[in-house]
Amino acid sequence: MADRVLSQDEIDSVFRRLQDRSVDTDLAKRAQPYDFRRPDRIAKDQLRAIHLLHENFARSLASSLSAYLRAYVMVNLVSVEQLSFAEFSQCLPSPTCIVALGMRPFDGNAVLEINPSLVFPILEMLLGGVGKPTGNKLMREVTEIEQSILEAVYRIILHDLKDSWRQVTNISFSIDSHETEPSLLQFLAPNEAVVAISLEIRIGESAGMMNIGIPSIIIKMLRQKFDQGWTNRRTAASEDEQARVMRLIRPARVHLDARLQGPTLRMEDLLELKEGDVLAFDYSTTKPINLLVNGKLKYLGHVVSAGNKRAIQLTEQFHLLD
């Protein structure tokens, strides 16, 4: 057995088996689990765009609520992720303050939820109190009277949300219904995907979460508009940057030379020149004059009169200036 020599066919067969085994192993490593119950997954770059959009919404909402409540309000974007509607509902406290949002011109509803730890301090401030948290947390349903008091707060939130989404598309958010129990939400199927946006709102010593759930199917419909919106933003940013650079270089000074590019003269002839000699430059009066900017040819022009002075009227531009 030790002296046996393998044939070429046997060697090739061994290598083929090894290669087939390595291919199977690589494919197994590259395979990723896919949940067919979630067909509405959206791309990560679109999630990042939604994250940036709601960062702007958080800043705008903080300013609006501070002015309305006459208190210092901080709004921080905590997370933007994609969940099933069942998972999103299970993350909400019970009871809580939930509204179904219409999204005209799109069909379907989004969900806006504000934690009771935030709702009741806001109600106290709107009714003349200071809104400080108490040791006993109120975990009861919001009454109809309290819901009507909160309408102005909802209008502020939806107004800023609409403004933030305007850079992508025009969506008119409206309140369709109110709920208090997450388990009673029937807006979407349990396995339907939603984009969940969580924001932390701090008003003085009180703090709570506000959660927004938007159906992923609507986000997917807006994919092209998302791409166009961020492209337009980059173009606008580029124009702003150009304007900023122009403001910086506008006070700079440059050196201009208007030259007649005529014949040359030897140094010995130049030294022998005396008063009364005439030099023929052979430069036609109709020939344009070179105008140099910092020593480089940039324009052509003709000599003209400007009042009691001589000037150059530009006739052609060269793109030779670095």
pLDDT band for 265, please (50, 70, 90 cuts): confident
More confidently predicted of 283 and 102: 102
- Residue-wise DSSP of 194-218: EEEEEEEEEETTEEEEEEEEEEHHH
Residue 1, pLDDT above cutoff 50? no
Domains of the chain, earliest start first: 44-221 (3.40.1550.10), 253-317 (2.30.330.10)
pLDDT tens figures, 298-307 = 888 888 888 8
**What is d(CA 303, CA 314) in angstroms, rounded to the nearest whole number?**
9
pLDDT single digits (tens) 64-88:
998 898 888 899 999 999 888 888 8
For residues 33-53, average pLDDT: 71
Tokens 């030294």 correspond to what residue? Answer: 271
Strand partners, 8: none
CB 272 within 8 A of CB 295: no
Q: What integer is the mean pLDDT of 252-279?
A: 82
Highest mean pLDDT among 25-29, 198-202, 269-273: 198-202
- Interacting residues of 309 by C-beta distance below 8 A, sequence separation 6+: none
Q: How confident is the model at residue 321 (pLDDT cuts 50, 70, 90)?
A: very low
Model confidence at 165, pLDDT cuts 50, 70, 90, reads: confident
Residues in Cβ contact with 4 at an 8 Å cutoff, skipping those fewer than 6 apart? none
pLDDT of res. 6: 65
Tokens of 156: 């502020």
Residue in 306, 49, 322 with CA at minimum distance from that of residue 314:
306
Give me the mean pLDDT over the 258-265 stretch: 76
Q: What's the token pair of residue 204?
A: 């003085």
- Residue 99's alpha-carbon distances to 102, 162, 212, 275, in angstroms, are 10, 16, 10, 99
Q: Which residues pair with 30 in a beta bridge?
A: none
pLDDT of residue 226: 64
Confidence at 135, pLDDT banded by 50, 70, 90: low
Average pLDDT over the chain, rounded to an integer: 80
CA distances to 2, 17, 18, 22, 23 from 14, in Å: 18, 5, 6, 13, 15
Q: What is the pLDDT of residues 177-221, one digit of tens each?
A: 888 888 877 777 788 888 899 999 998 888 889 999 988 888 887
pLDDT tier at 238, thresholds 50, 70, 90: low
pLDDT band at 134 (very low <50, low <70, confident <90, very high): low
Is 248 exposed, middle or buried (CB count within 10 Å of its CB: 0-12, 13-18, 19+)? Answer: exposed
With bands split at pLDDT 50, 70 and 90, how would you rate the model's confidence at 157? very high
**Is residue 184 within 8 Å of residue 82, measured between CB atoms?**
no
Query: What Cα–Cα distance (Å) separates residue 234 from each residue in 68, 82, 169, 186, 228?
Result: 33, 26, 17, 40, 10
- Using a pLDDT cut of 90, give the percent of the chain over it: 13
